[in-house]
A and B are shown apart, each in its own frame.
Chain A
Amino acid sequence: MGKTLFEKIWESHIVVEKQNNPTLIYIDRHLVHEVTSPQAFEGLRMNNRKVRRPDLTIATMDHNVPTTDRSLPILDQTSSVQIKTLETKCKDFGIKLFDIDSPNQGIVHVIGPQLGITLPGSTIVCGDRHTSTHGAFGALALGIGTSDVEHVLASQTMWLEKPKPFEIRVEGKRKNPHAVTAKDIVLSIIKNIGTGGGTGTVIEYRGEGITDLSMEQRMTICNMSIEAGARAGLIAPDEKTFDYLRDREYTPKNYESLVDSWKGNLKTDSDAKFDKEFTLHIDDIAPQVSWGTNPGMTCNVTDSIPSPDEFSNGDSNQKKGAEKALEYMALEPGTLVEDIKIDRVFIGSCTNARLEDLIEASKVIKGQKISPHVQAMVVPGSQMVKKQAEEMGLDKIFINANFEWRESGCSMCLGMNPDILSPGERCASTSNRNFEGRQGTGGRTHLVSPVMAAAAAIHGHFVDVRKMDLN
């Protein structure tokens, strides 16, 4: 029987395999950031262990860096301690660090691909669940906890239970690719399969609706795989993948011979079997807006807020969850999504802060001003994205529309730095999670695509971007 892409990558990384035990898997790339690493380095030091392969390890600081003027001192003492700790540990253990002043600093999942560190067929880990982003390049990319960060630093391997392959097909061609984006595709998937729908699996996204996407759009899809509970998400590499990684700062010297070895190999065999399957038709997808407190609580922009009964489909737990979510979000069933007024707009995060996202959002903004009661910000995914955007003049478009134009980092996606919502504030956000208090205690998050966020900023409420001219 044939094998899935996931199984091929898995099998080519087995170090130790025993029956009824987890498998020891080799890790090709380890990305490190300031929040989930300090305790791991501490553990190494206490046990007098070293980093086995500093040459396969890269660090940056993203989660709690300020996005305002970087020449000023960091006011938050604990953030400052974490950032300094990472600097010291990288020096002590000989790890390459893109620090806060580096032109390569940025959200770890944005810089990996941008620097050519992410490679097809490789195993990549990072102490952050959205590591699944790198799966867009046909890598097995897993988010891990701090104990595993320590374990990988020490041994370049980790013990893993083998996940099951899950095929998600997206069929058809988008009629309006500027309005119905990768974000809308992935939110639709999560809405359908639920936030636990992918538990214990690695999703492989297939079909014309996926291969048509650019690399940056594919990253948005893989990024949110874990919001459906999956261990990882991936997409078979093709010419677009190989082109994207060519001639980057850290692209391997023998890249073309690697490409030759990947072609033909890194794909699912035609007779391979998946444990689970789901198909979505692209014609059915409208721009999405989340209304609740998990990414599965999402509807079309043209819908009205569902009642807990309608949402739960007879499941009492789901109903309870929906009632609680609506209370937290201060929304009434039956309210049209387009009538929901917003206070804040956040364009950023590892889901949607790449150059293409900013270009698309800028088309909506160009020559307009944001609604007077809205406060809006753009936080580019990396300093390199910021520079490229500035070279294209995108910063001026946003600034002229009264957006704030910031330095890169995770920012308001999780509000570990000063970029947070005030209690009760309602935000159209291009990030990945709408959990209670995620963007600030009492803050209310609506997940949307960059164009939907930009349009909401202009109008002060959600609008169906399919009605706008985005070409």
Chain B
Amino acid sequence: MDSFKKITSIVTPLDKVNVDTDQIVPKQFLKLVQKSGFGKFLFFNWRYDEQENKKSDFILNNPKYENSQILVAGDNFGCGSSREHAVWALLDYGFAVIIAPSFADIFFSNCFKNGVLPIILDQKIVEKLLEETGMLEVDLENQIIKTSSSEISFEIDSYRKKILLEGLDDISITFQYEDKISDFEKQSKIPSVL
């Protein structure tokens, strides 16, 4: 996984609550067997009409936001399924930071496993970001978001911050505890399935 760098980008305002994983990637596109290539299906039913023409009223189709790496949305972003395809689609499309007042918990942890930074901010601040839609600088190291007029600090679990900054792979971290896993298995009473 790539390490997370400081990001400066225009922010894409998605003023919707409860954006669910079926809306992020409709399930007809979940059948790929790789992790890449999902970006073109991101928000598919909102981006395209039935003839697959771009819908001009959807925010992602506004050329202004074409290279945006920061998405701001309403409450409970990423609710729905545990499918990681939602994060892969956001990442493949180009988003590296998602800001919302709250996230669905599996989506939230899936972000960190793929190098995407989800940031929880107060509802009022999010509303302001949704309105202003300017450039933002996201500095994970110092846990600060800079807008043209202000600086907003954000919270992040120290372990998760380290994982993102160093681009660590969860599995190799776990393998350092191999002896503990083996010890656990020796005393476990739950039998094999087969």
Contacts and interface: CB of A to CB of B under 8 A. Distances in A.
A441 B82 CA distance: 20
B113 to A, nearest CB: 4
A436 B84 contact: no
Interface stretch (B59-67, B144-152, B175-183): B175-183
A435 B80 contact: yes
Contacts of A117: 193
A270 interface: no
A433 B18 CA distance: 13
A250 B193 CA distance: 6
Contact of A252 (B74, B83, B191): B191
A53 B177 CA distance: 16
Interface in A73-117: 76, 78-79, 81-82, 85, 96, 117
Given A148-B113, A155-B171, A199-B105, A320 B191 contact: no
Pick from B85, B102, B190 the residue with the most CB of A within 10 Å. B190
Contact of A154 (B30, B45, B171): B171
A428 interface: no
B174 A155 contact: yes
Contacts of A119: 190
A146 B84 contact: yes
Given A64-B31, A159-B170, A435-B22, A26 B184 contact: yes
A451 interface: no
Nearest to A149: B84
Interface stretch (B2-10, B32-40, B89-97, B132-140): B32-40
Contact of B23 (A49, A151, A436): A436
B28 interface: yes
A157 B180 CA distance: 11
B163 to A, nearest CB: 10
B189 A258 contact: yes
A438 to B, nearest CB: 5
B80 A317 contact: no
A414 B82 contact: no
B181 A416 contact: no
A29 B193 contact: yes
B165 interface: no
A437 interface: yes
Contacts of B32: 78
Interface string A116-132: 01010110000111000
A37 to B, nearest CB: 9
B53 interface: no
Contact of B18 (A144, A261, A294): A294
A128 B31 contact: no
B26 to A, nearest CB: 6
Contact of A437 (B45, B79, B114): B45
Q: How large is the interface on B (under 10, 10 to 19, 20 to 34, 35 or more residues)?
A: 35 or more
A188 B143 CA distance: 41
B82 A437 contact: no
B194 A78 contact: no
A138 B189 CA distance: 16
Contact of A28 (B45, B76, B85, B188): B188
Contact of B171 (A21, A39, A150, A423): A150
B113 A441 contact: no
A177 interface: no
A20 interface: yes
Nearest to A44: B171
A321 B23 CA distance: 14
Contacts of A155: 171, 174-175, 181
A64 to B, nearest CB: 7
Contacts of A416: 27-28, 30-31
A159 B162 CA distance: 15
Given A29-B193, A155-B175, A36 B82 contact: yes
A256 interface: no
A438 B81 CA distance: 11
Contacts of B82: 36, 127-129, 143-145
A82 to B, nearest CB: 5
B193 A58 contact: yes
Nearest to B23: A436
A82 B190 contact: no
B158 interface: yes
A231 B188 CA distance: 24
A426 B31 CA distance: 26
A321 B33 contact: no
Given A119-B190, A321-B17, A42 B22 contact: no
Contact of A35 (B76, B83, B188, B192): B83
Interface in B25-58: 26-28, 30-35, 45, 50
Interface of B: 17-18, 20, 22-23, 26-28, 30-35, 45, 50, 74-76, 79-85, 87, 102, 104-106, 109-110, 113-114, 157-159, 170-171, 174-175, 177, 180-181, 184-185, 188-194
Given A55-B193, A127-B82, A441-B50, 16 more contacts: A29-B190, A38-B33, A39-B33, A47-B171, A52-B181, A56-B192, A56-B193, A145-B109, A147-B114, A151-B174, A159-B174, A195-B18, A195-B79, A200-B105, A253-B191, A435-B22
Interface of A: 15-16, 20-22, 24, 26, 28-29, 35-36, 38-39, 42, 47, 49, 52-53, 55-58, 64, 76, 78-79, 81-82, 85, 96, 117, 119, 121-122, 127-129, 143-148, 150-151, 154-157, 159, 161, 195-196, 199-200, 229, 231, 250, 252-254, 258, 261, 294, 317, 320-321, 414-416, 423, 433, 435-438, 441
26 contacts: A20-B158, A21-B159, A24-B174, A26-B188, A35-B31, A42-B34, A55-B194, A81-B31, A119-B190, A122-B190, A145-B82, A145-B87, A145-B113, A146-B85, A148-B113, A196-B102, A199-B105, A229-B76, A229-B79, A294-B20, A317-B74, A317-B75, A416-B27, A436-B22, A437-B23, A441-B45
The 6 closest A-B pairs by CB, nearest first: A78-B31, A147-B113, A38-B33, A145-B84, A55-B192, A143-B82
